[in-house]
């Protein structure tokens, strides 16, 4: 998605350790119009898949997920990283290790909202090592729900997450695929 690549080039900051900071439009401050365009793009890519539910994880996945849900007219479910005080019912849970924060979070979803007849589209902001998406896939497996595919805003294609998912036969659609960082600049796959 050209518009997104341009925005990453313009406003993204490359920090030491191959960290890309896009907090001016994606994961701290959010550009609602860009998110709306991203949601429409995911909806277009999965328009023939009879998606019944979007699944993401708090917090940065919510913005692209809700715009995708708006375009596809389906509910959006976000997995929680901490147990809510009102989550006293049965949960699907999975452990997600964060390489950047070096902690394991248990993510959870109320069993009421994910069922066997669901065709799920998983949406997240970043794909690096694939830990968050693997946790969401595990949750769908527990619900016996079918996963139609995964939509990612920014994939770090030089890390292992993309291969991990594709090797499992998961359909992965990433709107921007970063091949490398070089002297503070971002290179995309296909440049």
Among 29, 50, 104, 160, binds its own copies (CB under 8 A): 29
Among 40, 45, 110, 164, binds its own copies (CB under 8 A): 110
Applying CB under 8 A, the span of 61-69, 132-140, 150-158, 178-186 interacting with its own copies comes to: 61-69
Phi and psi at residue 33, to the nearest 5° = -70, -40
| Cα–Cα distance, 76 to 155 (Å, whole number) | 21
Which CB, 113 or 163, lies closer to its own copies? 113
Cβ contacts of 78-86, under 8 Å, gap ≥ 24: 79/55, 79/107, 79/108, 79/109, 79/135, 79/136, 79/139, 80/107, 80/108, 80/109, 81/57, 81/105, 81/106, 81/107, 83/108
Which CB, 66 or 165, lies closer to its own copies? 66
Give the residues lining the site for its own copies (CB under 8 A).
Answer: 15, 19, 21, 23-25, 27-33, 35-36, 58-59, 62-63, 66-67, 69-70, 73-78, 80, 84-88, 100-101, 109-110, 112-113
């Amino acid at each position: 998605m050209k518009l997104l690549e341009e925005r990453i080039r313009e406003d993204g900051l490359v920090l030491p350790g191959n960290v890309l900071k896009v907090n001016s439009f994606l994961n701290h401050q959010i550009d609602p119009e860009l998110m709306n365009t991203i949601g429409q793009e995911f909806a277009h890519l999965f328009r023939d898949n009879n998606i019944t539910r979007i699944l993401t994880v708090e917090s940065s996945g919510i913005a692209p997920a809700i715009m995708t849900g708006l375009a596809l007219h389906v509910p959006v479910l976000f997995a929680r990283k901490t147990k809510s005080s009102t989550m006293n019912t049965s949960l699907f849970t999975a452990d997600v290790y964060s390489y950047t924060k070096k902690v394991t979070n248990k993510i959870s979803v109320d069993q009421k909202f994910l069922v066997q007849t669901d065709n799920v589209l998983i949406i997240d902001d970043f794909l690096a090592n694939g830990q968050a998406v693997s946790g969401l896939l595990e949750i769908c497996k527990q619900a016996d729900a079918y996963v139609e595919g995964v939509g990612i805003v920014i994939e770090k294609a030089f890390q292992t997450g993309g291969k991990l998912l594709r090797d499992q036969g998961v359909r992965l659609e990433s709107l921007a695929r970063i091949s490398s960082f070089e002297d503070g600049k971002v290179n995309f796959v296909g440049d």
